[in-house]
Amino acid sequence: MSISKEQIEQAHERIKPFIHKTAVLTCNTINELAGAELFFKCENFQKIGAFKIRGGMNAALSLSKEKAVNGIATHSSGNHAQAIAYAARQLGTKAYIVMPNNSPSVKVNAVKGYGAEVTFCENNQQAREETLQAIVDRTGAEFIHPYNDDRVITGQATCAKELLEEIPSLDFLLAPVGGGGLLSGTLLSAHYFSPETKVYAGEPEGAADAVLSLKSGKIETAPYIKTIADGLLTKLGDKTFPIIQQYVADILTVSDEEIISTLRLVYERMKIIVEPSCVVPLAALLKNKELFAGKRAGIILSGGNVDLKKFCEWFS
């Protein structure tokens, strides 16, 4: 394994001054419904509203001073863009963010609000990569990939580490899987800090690349992409996949209907705002109660950045 226990510990010390130690909430009603004892790690309360700041901040803080002055760069329309923008502001350097030209203005404004320079491109992978490469060539900025980067994976691992420190002896941990940064970090932290804890992942049926990759043994593309869990659309990377392959107990898929009813449950019973991608692991647990019955499970609530207008489309 290329990422060691010590590297995760060092990453945690490195980013601690810049992140929140997020609250762990419990909910009796959901426990009764699940038939298990659940502990929710609330990364929706994290800086920038999502766990992504852990990986982004760790990558940024890992740069040499000479390198950091040139800035950091990425392509993303989601929480990673905000993480890189926020990290750059903390470092006193520049952030260059490439975003598709159809990105919602609320997301563009959030990134600009942290002082980042936004460059728009066509909404396809090639355009994103080429636009980013041109910026890197021009500025010497460091590209920080949203998930396929050991520094990012190591940063995301600190979330499960924190949860396991606060709530020891968990039988299970659950995390969502998109590109696999959070999941592979969670798997590494469970492996190093609580080896008896099994880790399951939740994935939307409408972006089911990871579950297929696990079956075939190579990185697959989702057969179709159609889900409201817009943080989980990407496929795995060559750095995240081997970790997932080695350690994950299983990947459980859920439908958008199940995601929406779980969103409603969390809003109504826990009184917290979470984004659709965030409830995928809880939806998976509620769909597979027999796997977790009578046990203690930690669930990573990954983020809470949701547009109130979209929110209302799901519930009215």
Q: Does 267 bind a second copy (CB under 8 A)?
A: yes
Residue 144: which H helix or E strand, with range? none
Residues constituting the chain: 316
Q: Does 21 bind a second copy (CB under 8 A)?
A: no
* Gap between the Cα atoms of 117 and 73, Å rounded: 9
Q: Which of 189, 194, 213, 302 is catalytic?
A: 302
Q: In angstroms, what is the minimal distance from the CB of 103 to a second copy?
A: 17
Mark whether 161 is an active-site residue: no
Report CA Rg, the chain. Answer: 18
Q: Which is nearer to a second copy, 60 or 273 (CB)?
A: 273
Q: In angstroms, what is the minimal distance from the CB of 297 to a second copy?
A: 20
Q: Which is nearer to a second copy, 49 or 180 (CB)?
A: 49
Site string for a second copy, 25-54 (x = CB under 8 A): x------------------xx---x-----
* Gap between the Cα atoms of 149 and 123, Å rounded: 23
* Gap between the Cα atoms of 244 and 149, Å rounded: 14
* Gap between the Cα atoms of 275 and 283, Å rounded: 13
* Gap between the Cα atoms of 216 and 223, Å rounded: 13
Pick from 84, 144, 252, 273 the residue near a second copy by CB under 8 A. Answer: 273
* Gap between the Cα atoms of 124 and 265, Å rounded: 35
254 strand-pairing partners: 204
Contact between 249 and 198 (Cβ < 8 Å): yes
Pick from 85, 95, 144, 274 the residue near a second copy by CB under 8 A. Answer: 274
Mark whether 277 is an active-site residue: no
Q: Which of 52, 94, 198, 235 is catalytic?
A: 52
Q: Which is nearer to a second copy, 64 or 315 (CB)?
A: 315
86 three-state secondary structure: helix
Q: Does 315 bind a second copy (CB under 8 A)?
A: yes
Neighbours of 56 (CB within 10 A): 37
Q: Which is nearer to a second copy, 118 or 260 (CB)?
A: 260
Q: Pick out residues in 246-265 that bind a second copy (CB under 8 A).
A: 264
Q: Tell me how far the alpha carbon of residue 92 is from its chain's centroid.
A: 25
Q: Which is nearer to a second copy, 102 or 312 (CB)?
A: 312
Q: Pick out residues in 112-171 that bind a second copy (CB under 8 A).
A: none
Please list the active-site residues. Answer: 52, 302
- Residues within the interface to a second copy (CB under 8 A): 23, 25, 44-45, 49, 264, 267-268, 270-274, 304, 308-309, 311-312, 315-316
